[in-house]
């Protein structure tokens, strides 16, 4: 049985969305986004940094969202989401699966600057810098989407799950209007049933609280 440890709207949403796209059966554990829970002994035994996601599948425990994406593709995908070794789009697939983190680090910094850090310690300079870098990163996605609906010419793949989550995070801090193809891309993402199921807190999840 697969178990995903997840905080709603965090990077573990990528893994949850992947599981939903693949139609796999899994057990979902939702953790409160608090130091008490994430750094509590029960969760630290699974993830030494106390972060999400963490995915357990039998004797396999994985704790990087990009690695979880690749693992799920290699183990469970029939070719719909994966572009494996030898596929002509392999290099593009790999690039976008990991480019997603280039975007997410700026989004995570904006979460720190606007939610986690107490107001007097927030930095307008960091916020300006991070939102500009996020906007630049969105510009690269916009260019790539010229003449196509998804990042790869062959259509939707796990690259869109990876980058799609980062766009979902980015639009909370940076207006997408300057990137019209990203606006349409994000609309298409929101139409996917698997993405819809990855949003917010889920009543069917087991809750891990302090
Ligand atoms: N590169 C890692 C980043 C994991 C990460 O930092 N997750 C954040 C949530 S988006 C987290 O758990 N933060 C809690 C904390 O740092 O206390 C991945 O993609 O899985």
CA distance 203 to 30: 10
Identify which of 58, 61, 68 has the alpha carbon closest to the alpha carbon of residue 21. 68
Question: Is the Cβ atom of 51 under 6 angstroms away from ligand 1?
Answer: yes
pLDDT band, residue 209 (cuts 50/70/90): confident
Residues of the chain with CATH 3.40.30.10: 2-81+196-208
User: Distance from the CA of 11 to the center of ligand 1, in angstroms?
Assistant: 6
Choose the CATH number for 90-195 among 1.10.1200.10, 2.60.40.420, 1.20.1050.10, 3.30.465.10: 1.20.1050.10
Mutate to test the pocket of ligand 1, among 52, 66, 103, 105 (most ligand atoms within 8 A of CB): 52
Please give the CATH number for the structural domain made up of 2-81+196-208.
Answer: 3.40.30.10
Q: Which two tokens stand for residue 1?
A: 């049985």
Ramachandran sector of residue 85 (left: φ over 0; alpha: ψ -120 to 50; beta: rest): beta
**Half-sphere exposure at residue 121, Cβ-oriented, CA atoms within 13 angstroms:** 6
Question: Is the Cβ atom of 97 under 6 angstroms away from ligand 1?
Answer: no
Residues of the chain with CATH 1.20.1050.10: 90-195
- Helix or strand (DSSP H, E) at 165: helix 158-170
Name the DSSP class of 119. G
Render pLDDT for 193-202 as a digit per residue (tens, 0 to 9): 999 999 999 9
Average pLDDT, the chain: 97
Q: What is the mean pLDDT of residues 59-79?
A: 97
Ligand 1 atom with least separation from CA of 38: 17
Render pLDDT for 20-59 as a digit per residue (tens, 0 to 9): 999 999 999 999 999 999 999 999 999 999 999 999 999 9
């Amino acid at each position: 049985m697969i178990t995903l440890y997840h905080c709603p709207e965090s990077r573990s949403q990528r893994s949850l969305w992947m599981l939903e796209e693949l139609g796999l059966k899994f057990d979902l554990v939702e953790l409160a986004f608090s130091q008490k829970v994430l750094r509590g002994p029960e969760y630290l035994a699974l993830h030494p940094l106390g972060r999400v996601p963490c995915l357990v599948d039998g004797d396999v425990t994985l704790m990087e969202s990009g690695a979880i994406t690749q693992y799920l593709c290699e183990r469970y995908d029939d070719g719909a989401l994966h572009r494996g070794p030898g596929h002509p789009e392999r290099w593009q697939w790999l690039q976008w699966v990991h480019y997603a983190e280039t975007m997410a680090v700026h989004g995570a910094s904006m979460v720190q600057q606007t939610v986690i850090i107490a107001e007097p310690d927030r930095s307008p300079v960091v916020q300006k810098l991070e939102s500009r870098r996020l906007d630049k990163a969105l510009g690269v996605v916009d260019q790539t989407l010229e003449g196509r609906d998804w990042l790869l010419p062959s259509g939707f793949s796990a690259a869109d799950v990876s980058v799609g989550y980062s766009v979902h995070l980015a639009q909370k801090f940076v207006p997408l209007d300057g990137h019209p193809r990203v606006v349409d891309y994000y609309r298409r993402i929101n139409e996917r049933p698997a993405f819809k199921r990855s949003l917010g807190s889920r009543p069917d999840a087991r809750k891990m609280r302090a």
